[in-house]
C-alpha cells in the first residue's frame, strides 16, 4: 500500500514548485498582489515559495484534500482552509485568486463549475484577478497518458507511476493513476476525471459568473493562443455585480 501521506509526498517530488515555466508565470502575479487565495493549493508549494521569496501580505491556500493540506501546513505563516471552491464563503477579501497545476480541470460538472466560479468572483475585490490554466482540448494531452509513458522516482521510496485513460465522454476524460514498486507490484490505483473546456465554452462560464477576460495566452511565456497551443492560460477580472451594489447600499441592521 501507498498511504495518502506518501501520495502527497510523491506529488511534491513530481511537482516541486519552481521547476516549471508555469511556476514563474504565477510567481510574478503573486509577488504583486497583497492578498492571495490559491484554490486547489494541494501541498501548498506556490504559497510556501511566495513566503520564502519575501511576500509579506495575506496568503491563503484552499483544498479539499486533507493529506495534501497536512503537508501544506508544515508552514504556519500561511492560512490553510480545508474545502472546495464552491463552498468558499469569502467576500471581497482578495486581490488575486489562482488555480495552478490544472486544478481548474477538476471542476468537471457544470453546476460545480458555476458555483465555484461565482464563489471565486465573490472572494475577489471588484477588479481583482483570477489566474488559471486549462489544457486545450485540441491538443488531446490525454493521448500520452498511457502505461508506455511511466515516471520513476526514488522518494518517498523507489516507485513507478503511470496513467491510463478509462473513458472520454464529451469533454471529460476519466483515467487511473497507478503506483507500483520496482518489482512491479501495484501499491495504489487512484481514479480521477478532468474536464477539457475549449476557449469559447470557458468564456461563457466566466461571463455568467461575472468575470471579464483581461489576458489570454497559449503558453507560459505569454505567447498568443493559437491553433497549436496546448494550454489556455487566462487572467480574468472580477466585475462588480448588481447584488454586490445592493448589499453595499442596504442600510446597516439595527443593533
Ligand X SMILES: C[S@@+](CC[C@H](N)C(=O)[O-])C[C@H]1O[C@@H](n2cnc3c(N)ncnc32)[C@H](O)[C@@H]1O
Q: Cβ closer to ligand X: 70 or 241?
A: 70
Question: Does the protein bind ligand X through residue 241 (CB under 6 A)?
Answer: no
| Closer Cβ to ligand X, 220 or 240, answer by number | 220
Cα radius of gyration rounded to whole Å, the chain: 19
Instruction: Work out how close the CB of 19 gets to ligand X at its nearest, in angstroms, rounded to a whole number.
Output: 11
Binding residues for ligand X restricted to 96-155, rule: CB under 6 A: 100-103, 106-107
Compute the distance between CA of residue 111 and CA of residue 85 in angstroms, rounded to an integer. 12
Q: Which is nearer to ligand X, 72 or 236 (CB)?
A: 72
The number of residues that bind ligand X (CB under 6 A) is 18
Distance, CA of 111 to CA of 86 (rounded, Å)? 9
Which residue's CB is nearer to ligand X, number 84 or number 176? 84
Q: Assess 59 for contact with ligand X (CB under 6 A).
A: no
Q: Give the nearest distance from C-beta 103 to ligand X in angstroms.
A: 4
Q: Residue 43 and residue 238: Cα distance in Å, rounded?
A: 27
Give 138-193 as a DSSP string: GG-GGGG-STTS-EEE-SSSSEEEEEEEEEEETTEEEEEEEEE-TT--EEEEEEEE
For residue 89, give every residue at least 6 positions away whose Cβ sits within 8 Å of its Cβ, in sequence order, or none: 119
Task: Assess 15 for contact with ligand X (CB under 6 A).
Answer: yes
Nearer to ligand X, 35 or 116 (CB): 116
Q: Which residues bind ligand X (CB under 6 A)?
A: 15, 39-42, 45, 63-65, 68, 84-85, 100-103, 106-107
Amino acid at each position: 500500500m501507498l498511504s495518502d501521506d506518501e501520495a502527497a509526498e510523491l506529488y511534491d517530488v513530481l511537482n516541486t514548485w519552481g521547476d516549471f515555466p508555469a511556476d514563474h508565470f504565477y510567481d510574478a502575479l503573486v509577488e504583486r498582489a497583497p492578498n492571495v487565495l490559491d484554490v486547489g493549493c494541494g501541498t501548498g508549494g506556490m504559497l510556501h515559495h511566495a513566503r520564502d521569496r519575501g511576500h509579506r501580505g495575506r496568503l491563503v491556500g484552499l483544498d479539499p484534500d486533507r493529506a495534501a493540506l497536512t503537508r501544506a501546513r508544515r508552514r504556519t505563516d500561511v492560512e490553510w482552509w480545508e474545502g472546495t471552491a464552491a463552498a468558499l464563503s469569502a467576500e471581497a477579501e482578495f486581490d488575486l485568486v489562482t488555480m495552478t497545476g490544472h486544478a481548474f480541470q477538476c471542476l468537471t460538472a457544470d453546476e460545480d463549475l458555476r458555483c465555484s466560479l461565482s464563489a471565486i468572483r465573490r472572494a475577489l475585490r471588484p477588479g481583482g484577478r483570477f489566474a488559471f490554466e486549462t489544457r486545450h482540448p485540441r491538443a488531446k494531452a490525454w493521448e500520452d497518458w498511457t502505461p508506455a509513458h511511466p515516471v520513476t522516482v526514488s522518494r518517498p521510496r523507489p516507485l513507478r507511476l503511470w496513467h491510463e485513460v478509462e473513458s472520454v465522454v464529451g469533454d471529460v476524460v476519466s483515467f487511473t493513476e497507478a503506483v507500483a514498486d520496482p518489482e512491479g507490484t501495484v501499491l495504489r490505483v487512484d481514479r480521477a476525471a478532468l474536464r477539457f473546456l475549449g476557449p469559447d465554452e470557458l468564456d461563457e462560464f466566466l461571463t455568467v459568473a461575472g468575470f471579464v477576460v483581461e489576458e489570454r495566452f497559449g503558453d507560459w511565456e505569454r505567447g498568443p493562443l493559437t491553433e497549436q497551443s496546448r494550454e489556455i492560460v487566462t487572467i480574468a477580472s472580477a466585475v462588480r455585480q448588481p447584488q454586490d451594489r445592493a448589499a453595499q447600499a442596504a442600510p446597516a441592521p439595527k443593533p
